[in-house]
Amino acid sequence: MIIPKGKVVHEDLSTSYTDIHELLRDLRQNSFTGYCQVNFWEYRGTLFLDRGRIINALEELGNERNTGERAIKNILAKAEQKDGAVSVFQLQDEMVATLASVLNSKVKYRDLTTELTSLEKLISKLKKEEHSGYVEVLLNGDSGDGCIYFQDGRAMESVFRSSEGEMISGPNGFKKILGLSTEIGAVFNVFESDLSSIVMDNSISEEILLLFQDTFSSLENTLDARFGSGKFLEEFKRTSALRVNANNYPFLDPFAGEFVYKDKTLTFEGETSLEEFTTGVCDVLTQTIDHFKAKEDHISELIGTNIRPLKEERIQLIDRLKLDIKLPAVFGDQASTPPDTDQKDSEEREAKGGRLSRLFRRKEKAPDE
């Protein structure tokens, strides 16, 4: 797979002097669409952005290749090391979406040769099939290679790469690929897009921030009422600042000022993946709640009772983020059980329906999403 260069926005910025998080924050504020590439010796990491949000990534280290959440995390960490280079290239929206969707593409046709078909006939066939993905063209005699990208049967972009590494994009690149494949022959491999590979949920949306804001507010009301005004936030900040948490979840470090909950309002100005965000916040909240449980074990029941309306209202989002697993002290089934519920009745309900019945109830609510 050859990535089109696009329009240069920044090129070869030194990682020694470039804060990758500040750079990505600026790109997000400007609704940038394209990709940010991090290069080291025998290493290349590419972050694909749609309107400033990372939607997928490709990490290439020797023969190792990673995509998705793992690649995003690794690339951001690598960019903080010295002696590397960061470049930013702008692309059209459709091109970025296509590139992001082919990172985990599936082979549709393999090892087609010019002895069996021509590139023109193959393109015509893919047009009729409304193909989305790309064609890899391997020229005979190690004369270079190329990629032709498609979306719904339309050829969007072509990139030719010579054996010396020279790259030609656009119409000239297409002419070069077509001409050489006809002249000296080639092998074609056709790859189909996998839309599920796009990290659509990687962005920390306003909806997600609002859910955590309301969760913090409920916990603050519950714990402050029992232990004193300001005690919840005080303990959360103390726990966030612990060395192990500050190292594992730097965006939660109070001194960084990226994650701020104040006056019932939550703001987040950091740059991290959704998975790391939810895992970090839930981990530190769990530690915070454990601190209060050590003082009064029955506080869990009160937390569950007070959070129940929020849980019922946002159950679809809570399920999608797996908060019942990541934050069981708040969103787990046990946390939702009313304090005065008889244990026998609870067991009977579980035997009759249990979690499956709850899942069916959630599905019934799905059309309202």
What pLDDT does 349 receive?
40
Q: Considering the domain boundaries, does residue 361 fall inside one?
A: no
Contact (Cβ atoms closer than 8 angstroms) between residue 26 and residue 10: no
In which domain, by residue range, is 52 found? 1-101
Query: Are residues 33 and 137 located together in one domain of the fold?
Result: no
Query: Are residues 135 and 35 located together in one domain of the fold?
Result: no
CA gap 58, 74 in Å, rounded: 10
3 state SS for the chain: CCCCCCEEEEEEEECCCCCHHHHHHHHHHCCCCEEEEEEECCEEEEEEEECCEEEEEEEEECCEEEEHHHHHHHHHHHCCCCCCEEEEEECCHHHHHHHHHCCCCEEEEEEEECCCCCHHHHHHHHHHCCCCEEEEEEEHHHCCEEEEEEECCEEEEEEEECCCCCEEEHHHHHHHHHHHHHHHCEEEEEEECCHHHCCHHHCCCHHHHHHHHHHHHHHHHHHHHHHCCCHHHHHHHHHHHCHHHHHHCHHHCCCCCCEEEECCEEEECCCCCHHHHHHHHHHHHHHHHHHHHCCCCCHHHHHHHHHHHHHHHCHHHHHHCCHHHHCHHHHCHHHHCCCCCCHHHHHHHHHHCHHHHHHHHHHHCHHHC
Query: Are residues 94 and 30 located together in one domain of the fold?
Result: yes
Query: Are residues 288 and 236 located together in one domain of the fold?
Result: yes
- Domain end marker among 194, 218, 252: 194
Query: Are residues 34 and 111 located together in one domain of the fold?
Result: no
Measured from the Cβ of residue 107, the count of other Cβ atoms closer than 10 Å reads 12
Q: Considering the domain boundaries, does residue 357 fall inside one?
A: no
Q: Considering the domain boundaries, does residue 353 fall inside one?
A: no
Q: Considering the domain boundaries, does residue 348 fall inside one?
A: no
Query: Are residues 329 and 211 located together in one domain of the fold?
Result: yes
For the chain, 369 residues long, give each residue's pLDDT as a single digit of tens: 889 989 999 999 999 999 998 898 889 888 899 999 999 999 999 999 988 888 899 999 988 999 988 899 899 999 999 999 999 999 998 899 889 989 888 899 999 999 999 999 999 999 999 999 999 999 999 899 999 999 889 999 999 999 998 999 999 999 999 999 999 999 999 999 877 666 555 568 888 999 999 999 999 999 999 999 999 999 999 999 999 998 999 999 988 889 999 999 999 988 888 889 999 999 999 999 999 999 998 999 999 999 999 998 888 688 778 899 999 999 987 554 444 444 444 444 433 333 333 323 333 344 444
- Domain end marker among 101, 119, 153: 101
Q: Considering the domain boundaries, does residue 356 fall inside one?
A: no
Q: Considering the domain boundaries, does residue 63 fall inside one?
A: yes
Query: Are residues 15 and 56 located together in one domain of the fold?
Result: yes
Query: Are residues 131 and 88 located together in one domain of the fold?
Result: no
Does this model's pTM top 0.85?
no
> CB-based contacts of 119: which residues, under 8 Å, 6+ apart?
135, 137, 177, 178, 181, 182, 186, 188
CA gap 269, 167 in Å, rounded: 38
Number of domains in the chain: 3
Q: Is the dihedral of CA 318, 320, 321, 326 positive or negative?
A: positive
Query: Are residues 33 and 57 located together in one domain of the fold?
Result: yes
- Domain end marker among 56, 71, 101: 101
Q: Considering the domain boundaries, does residue 349 fall inside one?
A: no
Query: Are residues 89 and 175 located together in one domain of the fold?
Result: no
What pLDDT does 198 receive?
64
Query: Are residues 78 and 139 located together in one domain of the fold?
Result: no
Query: Are residues 95 and 156 located together in one domain of the fold?
Result: no
CA gap 214, 197 in Å, rounded: 31
